[in-house]
Amino acid sequence: MQYSKISLKFKSQDKAPFFIGSQIRGALGTALKRVVCINHKYKCAECFANNSCIYYEFYELKNIYHKYRLDYRLGEKDYDFSVFLFENSCLQVPYLVSALYFMLNECGLGREKIKYRNFSMFVNDENCLKDNKISLPKKITRSIEIKSFCPDIKLSFKTPLRIKKNNIFLRNEDLELKDLILSIYSRQMGILHKNNREFPYEIKGEITSKNLKYLELTRHSNRQKTTMNLGGIMGDMIIKNLNKQSYEVLKLGEILGAGKQCVFGLGKIEVEDINAI
């Protein structure tokens, strides 16, 4: 799989929200629409260009696996986040970089619409701002390559994990290794437009300990005029005796994310070799 990573860092004029995902996604949507829209008098659903519009794909299409996600940690004092793009969405890097630049310089963040002039921006960890002007690197995509294999790992959930099983969101002790593997694999297949394919390997691994909690998290949707529940599982677990295929899916999840609402930055996971901790 191909991916691109756009990262931003800057100091908050006030303390950044504990959960920046809602704020960033909303502000980015406003900026992206202003950057790419060629028919402001049309509603998106009625626009003749919506089939080729990155804003329409990222913000208006429902019930699909979106080919992007936010990435950050909860409760940071300042802003430090990334936007991951996947597969053909990587071609949209110039538009996303322009929108993020416009978001901070012109649109602003938060209720006060605070604007930022002093910030760092990177594409795949390479600086893309020179003299406060955008200068993209020649290579804007990377291939996901998993060369390592560790059968015994510590798996950490850095932002709430929301996984449904039997139409119910899982909580703490109900979470099984199979649930994680299938969630990440389904997300991969959805992004690749290969839905409804079963995981082709045996899932091997034993959860030997769990240190999990359910974090309640909400956001207010201005568009829907309602409060959305974005709570999920956080913490870590120890998994031993993984087979290579199961390990590789978990490592893939570090980039793709896991579970639902990854576009808000949920489902951020990290995999560590417990023998190296």
Q: From first to last of the 277 residues of the chain, give the pLDDT tens digit.
A: 999 999 999 999 888 999 999 999 999 999 999 999 988 877 898 898 999 999 999 999 999 999 999 999 999 999 999 999 999 999 999 999 999 999 999 999 999 999 999 999 999 999 999 988 999 999 999 999 999 999 999 999 999 999 998 889 998 889 999 999 999 999 999 999 997 678 999 999 999 999 999 999 988 776 666 788 899 999 999 999 999 999 999 999 999 999 999 999 999 999 999 987 6
- Show the 3-state SS of the chain: CEEEEEEEEECCCCCCCCCCHHHHHHHHHHHHHHHHCCCCCCCHHHCCCHHHCHHHHHHHCCCCCCCEEEECCCCCCCEEEEEEEEHHHHHHHHHHHHHHHHHHHHHCECCCCECCCCCEEEECCEECEECCEECCCCCCCEECCCCCCCCCEEEEEEEEECCEECCEECCHHHCCHHHHHHHHHHHHHHHCCCCCCCCCCCCCCEEEEEEEEEECCEEEECCCCEEEECCEEEEEEEEECCCHHHHHHHHHHHHHCCCCCHHHCCCCEEEEECCCC
Is the full-model pTM beyond 0.85? yes
